[in-house]
Amino acid sequence: MSGLSFAVVGAGIGGLTAALALARQGHAVMLIERRTGFSEVGAGLQLSPNASCILIDLGLGHALQRVVGEPERVVVRAIGSGKTIGEVAQGSFMRERFGAPYWVVHRADLQTLLLDAVRSQPGIRLVMGRKVETIETGPQGAELTLTTDNGLRETFRADAVIGADGVWSKVRQAAGMRALPSFRGSVAWRATLDHRQVPAALAGNETGLWLGSKGHVVHYPIANGRLLNIVAIERRKHPVEGWSAPGEAKALLSHYASATPLLKDLLGRVDNWLLWSLFDLPARVMAKDRIALLGDAAHPVLPFLAQGAALAIEDAATLAAVMPQSADEIPQAFSLYESRRLERARRVQAEARTNGRIYHAGPLVSFGRNRVMQRLGPQGMTERYSWLYDFKIA
């Protein structure tokens, strides 16, 4: 098959998956990444069934199986009292109900695995240390200008461009969307803890979710149980400078001063906190002419539904599925892609924001929230998201 040629900008989880999915259909991909290496900061990622089924379809299931975990449940507790509020069924219930597992994984493991798959595809050329500066599109295709850190410039032509360049996407601007993401009043403290240091009460094969009016905390085992991934959300008026700024455990503990001793014990054992300010931007444009956007470039989303990477993976698979045989049909294919993705992305963004409000609710609303959780029970809590997890590429 004589395929089309694509420039995929950004080799994050979305860009790597898109390159792989397109190359497997016989298209030629130039995958352009501005970073010179792939050192992922230690942190975890939840891969719900809507994402895991796609990675399995791409042939990555066996490799993933060696590095993922599959928690049996989410245990939801109150930050102040430590009491269990409810549970969400995962493990075998998820797998049987949605036909694919709910996995947790170290981001570096997922990235390494995707990179290995990309490197073994002859149709993909991965170029590192090149930043996309400008994009021009016309009826014949697209032209990109790339620069290196030492000022070298080069141009590259392709039939179309896929912007997978993250929250601060340059390609999004080239697609005509000028609005920038907004800070949403929360900062994520992220860290990993050696499993030997995890308090025994929190060391099971489960995800912990702690809710309180000043923030919430999520933790789950990654790296075959060798590490506990911890994310503590702190509500704040202003974002922290830069990405992955180091955080002082003392400051986090004082924010969570009224937390139950078990949670304070856990948070106090960590000495490698990195801070990450949370932004989002309601999705409006996912395609224009010969440019398509995916993942955070298209729809930066708060992590309160654990769906940012999952959406990027869905986008990548959907893009590959709508791709035509002829370059002339790319603009129509891209608008079909947008019509299949936009509404779902917006819904996920809105649900993630709502989750933030529910997780951080004051006494009145949290009373009602807790009652609902108890009434629904573990499987009912999972079923609330059947629209999300039960995903098939149209």
Ligand X SMILES: Cc1cc2nc3c(=O)[nH]c(=O)nc-3n(C[C@H](O)[C@H](O)[C@H](O)COP(=O)(O)OP(=O)(O)OC[C@H]3O[C@@H](n4cnc5c(N)ncnc54)[C@H](O)[C@@H]3O)c2cc1C
Maximum pairwise Cα distance, the chain? 64
Q: Which residues pair with 277 in a beta bridge?
A: 187
Strand ranges (E), 238-284: 245-246, 274-280
Q: CB under 6 A: which stretch of 193-201, 251-259, 295-303, 370-378 binds ligand X?
A: 295-303
Task: Determine which residue in the list 303, 331, 356, 378 makes contact with ligand X, applying CB under 6 A.
Answer: 303
Site for ligand X in 213-252 (CB under 6 A): 231
Q: Return the residue matching tokens 């998201």.
A: 385
Residue nearer to ligand X on the CB measure, 232 or 377? 232
Tell whether residue 212 is a contact of ligand X (CB under 6 A).
no
| Both structure tokens of 374 | 């108890």
Task: Determine which residue in the list 72, 109, 165, 289 makes contact with ligand X, applying CB under 6 A.
Answer: 165
Contact 76, 90 (CB under 8 A): no
From the list 335, 291, 298, 290, the residue with the least C-alpha distance to 314 is 298
Site for ligand X in 80-139 (CB under 6 A): 131-132
Instruction: Name the region of 240 (left: φ>0; alpha: ψ -120 to 50; beta: rest).
Output: beta
Tell whether residue 310 is a contact of ligand X (CB under 6 A).
yes
**Minimum gap (Å) between residue 288 Cβ and ligand X:** 17
Residue nearer to ligand X on the CB measure, 109 or 296? 296
Site for ligand X in 2-31 (CB under 6 A): 9-15
Alpha carbon distance 52, 71 (integer Å): 14
Give every CB contact of residue 85 below 8 A, 6+ residues apart in sequence: 76, 77, 78, 211, 369, 370, 373, 374
Tell whether residue 347 is a contact of ligand X (CB under 6 A).
no
Number of residues that bind ligand X (CB under 6 A): 33
**Minimum gap (Å) between residue 258 Cβ and ligand X:** 23
Amino acid identity of residue 174, one-letter, is A
Tell whether residue 34 is a contact of ligand X (CB under 6 A).
yes
Alpha carbon distance 305, 46 (integer Å): 10
Task: Determine which residue in the list 208, 215, 308, 356 makes contact with ligand X, applying CB under 6 A.
Answer: 308
**Minimum gap (Å) between residue 295 Cβ and ligand X:** 2
Q: CB under 6 A: which stretch of 83-91, 203-211, 306-314, 358-366 binds ligand X?
A: 306-314
Convert 319-335 to b/e letters by CB count within 10 Å (16 or more is b): bbebbeeebeebbebbb
**Minimum gap (Å) between residue 18 Cβ and ligand X:** 9
Alpha carbon distance 45, 121 (integer Å): 25
Task: Determine which residue in the list 110, 164, 193, 211 makes contact with ligand X, applying CB under 6 A.
Answer: 164
Binding mask 362-381 for ligand X (x = CB under 6 A): --------------------
Q: Which residues bind ligand X (CB under 6 A)?
A: 9-15, 32-35, 45-46, 131-132, 164-166, 170, 188, 190, 231, 276, 295-297, 303, 306-310, 312
